[in-house]
Structure 1
Amino acid sequence: MATQTFQGRPVVPGAIDGEATVSSKPLNPTASYGENIFGGNTTSAPCTDPDNEELLGVDMAGIILCTPQTVGSSMGGGAFMLVADLDLAPKAILFSGHIDAVGAAGILMADIWQEKPIVCVDLLGEDFQAAVKTGSKISVTEDGTVTVG
């Protein structure tokens, strides 16, 4: 695959490199972190959302998650804060669309209040979502530039 570069909006800036974990479906943080929120798991972050077959069972700790957006309940922001506090949050979340207010609140509070940043870039576009595949090499810069490949 040829290298492709996308420009997004840095919500929580940061420079990271790694491999993508991709969900073509929106992420539901509350459903995805059910084992952490309700089950007391403090050692891993397996996705527990039965509606997201691409992520179900995947340990989301330390991954670079690529997804269109987040959906779900008002607990979504708290889910991000909880897994950040447990050091089990994704290393980064890259959105092809807009980040929602609840997800943004949790990601920003994890950064500001807990000093546990989750690098976050949104508005990367549909072409980004189509180009990135699980296992793709990803590079993110502080200005929201994301290179795939």
Structure 2
Amino acid sequence: MAKEFKGRVVAPGSAAAEALVSHGGFNTLASYQMALMFGDKQVKCGDQNNGDLYKKPMIGKALCLPETIGSTTGGMVLYTACAMGKQPACMLFSKPIDSLAASGAILAANWTDAKMPVIDNLGEEFLNYVKDGMKITVIPDGTVTVE
């Protein structure tokens, strides 16, 4: 049965992808650094401190997260992943997005050809409901359907 959640649109767009869920904070630099530096085509998560995502391919997935954490380079890492075509299908946050991650998503939406909608404020119920492998659909008004 499908369930809908409504959030705030940070970077607009539509997406349909398989969910990849982290219940811990997403360290953007640690997660992407190895894949971006060494050309990992699957863009496996390199953050060994994130047991939910470590070594799992992130490219083309609907990343379902509470929040981003870590380095002040996070926004630039997101922008770079998009510029290289190695971004997730979308990023979905249960909590408000931080300004650094938001800046990277907004820059990527405006300065690259990447399509990576970003929705925040989806709520704790969203993160408790969604599981790896579920089908996620994002529409431009910030509605996220999980099935």
| Shared fold (TM-score, shorter chain, > 0.5) | yes
For 2:111, which of 110, 113, 127 is the aligned residue?
113
> Aligned match of 1:136 in 130, 134, 137?
134
Structure 1 segments, 4+ long, off by >3 Å, are none
Q: CA deviation at 1:83?
A: 1.0
Listed one character per residue, the Cα deviations across residues 29-79 of structure 1 (whole Å, up to 9, x for unaligned) are 000012134x33253311000100111111111111000010111110111
State the TM-score, normalizing by the size of structure 1: 0.93
Distance 1:134 1:22 in 2: 6
Match of 2:53 among 41, 55, 79: 55
Query: C-alpha separation between the residues in 1 aligned to 2:79 and 2:17?
Result: 22
User: 1:78-97 residue pairs with structure 2 within 5 A?
Assistant: 78-97=76-95
Aligned-partner SS, 2:75:
helix
**Counterpart position of 1:33:** 32
What is the DSSP-based 3-state SS (H/G/I as helix, E as strand, rest coil) of the residue aligned with 1:78?
Answer: helix
State the match for 1:70 in structure 2: 68
Structure 1, unaligned stretches of length 5 or more?
none
Q: Deviations over 1:77-133 (max 9, x none)?
A: 111111111111101000000110000011111111223231100000000010000
Equivalent pair of 1:19/1:137 in contact (CA under 8 Å): yes
What amino acid does structure 1 have at the position aligned with 2:128?
A
Pairwise CA distance, 1:23: 0.5
Aligned equivalent of 1:100: 98
> How big is the alpha-carbon RMSD for the aligned residues of Structure 1 and Structure 2?
1.2
Is 1:22–1:67's contact at 8 Å kept on the other side of the alignment? Answer: yes
- Provide the secondary structure at the position in 1 that maps to 2:9: strand
Give the number of aligned pairs.
147
Q: 2:122 aligns with which of 121, 124, 128?
A: 124
8 Å Cα contact 1:107/1:117 also seen in 2 = no
Contact 2:75 2:105 in 1 (8 A): yes
Distance 1:50 1:42, change over 3 A: closer
Aligned: 1:46 with 2:44: yes
